[in-house]
Amino acid sequence: MFSSLSIRNFRLYWFGMQISLVGSWIQVVVQGWLVFELTRSEFLLGLVGFLGSLPIFIFSLFAGVFADRINKRNILLITQNAFMLLAFVLALLSQFKIITPAQIMLIALLNGMVMAFDAPARQSIVVELVGKQHLLNAIALNSAAFNSARLVGPALAGILVAAVGMSGCFYINGISFVAVIIALFFIRNNHTPKKTSGVFLKDLFEGLKFIADNRIILILISIVGMASLFGISYTILMPVFADKVLHSGVKGLGVLMSSAGLGALLAALILARFSNRLKQRGEWIIFSSIIFSLGLILFSQSKIFLSSCVYLAIIGWSSVTAMTLVNNSLQILVPDEFRGRVMSAFMFTFAGIMPFGNLIAGTLAYFWGVAFSIAFSGFTCLAFFLSVWKFFPQLRKI
């Protein structure tokens, strides 16, 4: 299950990122609650999510070219320091009680700009650290790190808000970035980027043409795009669902988010354990995507807290299974010289399209309620994934 952690560089990277991710999830939950507390508006909650991911839509494809040209470790050192600085700014504004929704939106926008350059480098550096033999195991363990943080972070957020306040939570996130920055300093990554044409736009369009000419890669990226646009946006509405539907408050919000994280963590550990035996990845991608859609529909209709936690665990398991297998399939199918650009397209569809999903979800929730918004997302995803299953049988063979 943990075979890739035997590799020194990946072990340093993984433990550093694990600590940082816990802090990031604390901030995600507390920031969402702060916005809703300041505004009581579902639409503005969706707008903050929109602004946080909009730069990824604009810049991530360009960032993929940088990831193929520049040492990825150096890119990550810059981006992680930038994340730390923004967390401390948010903490200071909160501590002195001068925080406004506009300031939160600006910080979310700046975080999105940093993420646009961080994500392609972070996704594509893994194969350089572990090689293709351990790739699925390493991707699954990265997902386990993300989702164990998703499990622990929100639960801690509910406790820490009462103990140290919202500003304290933001300080904790800022300090957590020190771990990954130290890890990156100690990683010895002498990987030399492949030579490109040297013309920025030409490199960009070569990457897009490579994706367009490869039908399987195009379908895989489309699956990610649909899940991002209509599926994953349910997370931005969790404060509203916790408050208005389940009446569970900020502690209940932490438990709900942790339930999704628990399901996701189990999925990542299962994939890590069976990474060398897993066959028919394409069938598993479609199957788990359909389960994800059904989970959203069931969750949207739930009025019982415990049932909601179960449905969120199913949503977490299925979404991570699908996205981890898509990530692995893309990195195996893509030659080294295009990896940064293809993974930037993966992040473009995963996180870059998400702001529009957040905006759609927030708007639907504002006019027709949070339950309708999540149900609409579930039925839309279900229709798309069933269509892929029927009309693209070649996906089942990968």
Q: Is the pTM of this model over 0.85?
A: no
| Burial zone of 41 (CB within 10 Å; 0-12 exposed, 13-18 middle, 19+ buried) | middle
With a CB cutoff of 8 Å and minimum separation 6, the contacts of 131 are none
What pLDDT, on the 0 to 100 scale, is given for residue 181? Answer: 95
- Exposure string over 299-316, b if 16+ CB within 10 A, otherwise e: bbebeebeebbbbbbbbb
What pLDDT, on the 0 to 100 scale, is given for residue 275? Answer: 66
Distances from the Cα of 272 to the Cα of 132, 152, 348, angstroms: 14, 20, 25
What pLDDT, on the 0 to 100 scale, is given for residue 83? Answer: 96
Per the CB < 8 A criterion, the answer to whether 217 and 211 are in contact is: yes
CATH class held by domain 3-189+196-397: mainly alpha
Nearest partner of 52 among 369, 359, 312, judged by Cα:
359
What pLDDT, on the 0 to 100 scale, is given for residue 71? Answer: 84
**What CA–CA distance (Å, rounded) separates 149 from 141?**
12
Across the range 69-81, mean pLDDT stands at 90
| Burial zone of 247 (CB within 10 Å; 0-12 exposed, 13-18 middle, 19+ buried) | exposed
Across the range 249-260, mean pLDDT stands at 80
**What CA–CA distance (Å, rounded) separates 378 from 391?**
20
Amino acid letter, residue 216: I
Across the range 292-317, mean pLDDT stands at 93
Output the six-digit token pair for 378.
């579930």
**Sequential DSSP letters for 245-303:** IS--HHHHHHHHHHHHHHHHHHHHHHHHHTTTT---HHHHHHHHHHHHHHHHHHHHT--
Confidence at 72, pLDDT banded by 50, 70, 90: confident
Domain boundaries, the chain: 3-189+196-397
Average pLDDT, the chain: 86
Q: What is the pLDDT of residues 342-371, one digit of tens each?
A: 888 888 888 778 778 877 888 888 889 888
**What CA–CA distance (Å, rounded) separates 275 from 318?**
16
- Report residue 357 CA to chain centroid gap: 14
